[in-house]
């Protein structure tokens, strides 16, 4: 194909919804994209290295709580969705969207192995006329410095033979007021033609596409969004600890401040940050900034504060038990919620994991309940956690020295918990929000 034909052919396939879409990484980001493209009538081929996921998806099953199996099954039965672990099939789709993890190493540096390995696989099979979009959150320069050289090794030219964009994911698992369709999509292309084709593709599944000047600008946009939240959450967490010493109710203060109609946005304290994005992404920029001899002091300070919050919660648990004549060591504690936020099954970077780990290290006997997470195990930073959710019964609550609320699931019967628990440490202000005021409830 010559340049003009390459452009026109892909544009036409996208316009007519005849393009096959390849989604690489079928987790909390990739699977919602699968659904959106299928809803619009595109044929989708999913890729994942987990054979268990592939098997379940091809049978029409979902492994993510808020994505119903009936939706997956419908598209499988219609013949527009299938999944595979065979990376040789990467040459089949017209557009490849990369949604693989970008965690941190133990030294808080970017762990790029998943992006790099995926890029190498794509490079092996890349053909003329394909669009590649990276959605995984990463440091500015990844698309240009890591992906582009790999893709051009065989002589293919970006913007002519293939097209490359960065379009950051903006998924918020379990959220109902904004969906994949209604959340604007940022797109930055390596060339103007890359940008046009990337925007054309995403405009088929989202209501609004926002074009930026380059992949680096798109990569930085995503980091800004998450750093903004991380810094403000750290601020409110620090104020929470100060207010605790000053005997001031931080939640009362926040609600009062919210009455100002301008210049204030409410952020809320908690037991620490969770999810894949906010606890991780700011450190990608911190790491990259060193290359430019620049120290990102706000980001690093916010990270220190947010990372310290599970320690604060455990210290507060020890203080509460001491007030009640008990030592933390040897006490039985039931942790309520191990998902990183309410009403989802996502445990990635959940502060509850660190809290459980610390409690166990200090000699507590820990069990947990989470209606969304029947098994809590397999976390690489917490090999000591291998547990099953216990039933939240009157006996379980009475048999524990403390109920520690880490995740404020809507389905919890807060009145029942208050009635039967010996004492409660509430890290989310959930009992107050449910109009339960009790001497049994302490806040952390």
Write out the catalytic residue numbers: 277
Q: 289 near 295, Cβ under 8 Å?
A: yes
Residue 288 CB partners (closer than 8 Å, separation 6+)? 139, 140, 141
Q: Which helix (H) or strand (E) holds 366?
A: strand 365-369
Burial 156-181 (b: 16+ CB within 10 A, else e): eebbbbbbbbbbbbbbbbbeeeeebe
* CA-closest candidate to residue 315, choices 350, 347, 354: 354
Q: 46 near 26, Cβ under 8 Å?
A: yes
Collapse the DSSP code of 431 into the 3-class scheme (helix H, G, I; strand E, B; otherwise coil) and give the result: helix
Q: Which helix (H) or strand (E) holds 229?
A: helix 215-246
CA distances from 122 to 26, 91, 160, 168 (A): 16, 8, 17, 19
Measure the CA–CA gap between 92 and 79, rounded to whole angstroms.
16
* CA-closest candidate to residue 408, choices 388, 432, 385, 387: 432
The 10 Å Cβ neighbour count of residue 23 is 26
Tokens of 65: 């709580």
Residue 63 CB partners (closer than 8 Å, separation 6+)? 53, 56
Measure the CA–CA gap between 355 and 427, rounded to whole angstroms.
11
| Half-sphere CA count of 266, side-chain side, radius 13 A | 13
Measure the CA–CA gap between 268 and 14, rounded to whole angstroms.
42
Q: Which helix (H) or strand (E) holds 134?
A: strand 131-134
Measure the CA–CA gap between 376 and 356, rounded to whole angstroms.
11
């Amino acid at each position: 194909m010559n340049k003009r034909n390459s452009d026109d052919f892909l544009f036409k396939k996208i316009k007519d919804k005849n393009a096959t879409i390849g989604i690489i990484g079928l987790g909390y980001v990739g699977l919602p994209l699968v659904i959106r493209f299928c809803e619009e009538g595109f044929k989708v081929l999913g890729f994942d290295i987990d054979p268990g996921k592939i098997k379940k998806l091809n049978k029409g099953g979902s492994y993510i709580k808020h994505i119903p199996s009936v939706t997956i099954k419908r598209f499988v039965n219609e013949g527009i969705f299938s999944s595979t672990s065979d990376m040789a099939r990467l040459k089949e789709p017209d557009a490849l969207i990369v949604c693989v993890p970008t965690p941190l190493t133990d030294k808080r540096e970017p762990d790029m192995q998943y992006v790099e390995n995926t890029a190498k696989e794509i490079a092996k099979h890349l053909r003329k006329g394909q669009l590649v979009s990276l959605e995984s959150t990463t440091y500015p320069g990844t698309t240009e410095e890591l992906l582009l050289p790999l893709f051009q090794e065989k002589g293919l030219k970006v913007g002519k033979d293939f097209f490359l964009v960065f379009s950051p994911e903006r998924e918020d698992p379990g959220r109902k007021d904004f969906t994949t369709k209604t959340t604007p999509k940022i797109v930055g292309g390596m060339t103007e033609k890359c940008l046009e084709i990337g925007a054309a593709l995403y405009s088929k599944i989202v209501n609004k596409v926002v074009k930026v000047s380059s992949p680096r600008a798109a990569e930085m946009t995503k980091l800004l969004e998450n750093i903004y939240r991380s810094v403000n959450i750290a601020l409110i967490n620090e104020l929470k600890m100060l207010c605790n010493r000053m005997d001031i109710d931080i939640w009362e203060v926040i609600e009062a401040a919210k009455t100002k109609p301008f210049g204030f946005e409410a952020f809320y304290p908690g037991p620490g940050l969770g999810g894949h994005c906010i606890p991780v992404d700011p450190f990608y920029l911190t790491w990259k900034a060193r290359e430019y001899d620049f120290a990102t002091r706000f980001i690093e300070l916010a990270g220190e504060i947010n990372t310290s919050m599970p320690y604060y919660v455990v210290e507060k648990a020890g203080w509460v038990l001491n007030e009640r004549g008990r030592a933390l060591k040897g006490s039985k504690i039931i942790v309520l919620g191990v998902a990183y936020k309410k009403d989802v099954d996502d445990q990635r970077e959940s502060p509850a994991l660190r809290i459980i780990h610390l409690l166990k290290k200090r000699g507590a006997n820990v069990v947990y309940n989470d209606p969304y997470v029947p098994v809590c195990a397999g976390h690489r930073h917490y090999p000591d956690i291998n547990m099953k959710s216990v039933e939240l019964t009157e006996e379980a609550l009475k048999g524990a020295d403390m109920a520690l609320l880490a995740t404020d699931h809507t389905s919890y019967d807060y009145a029942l918990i208050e009635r039967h628990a010996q004492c409660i440490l509430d890290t989310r202000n959930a009992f107050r929000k449910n109009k339960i005021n009790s001497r049994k409830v302490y806040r952390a």
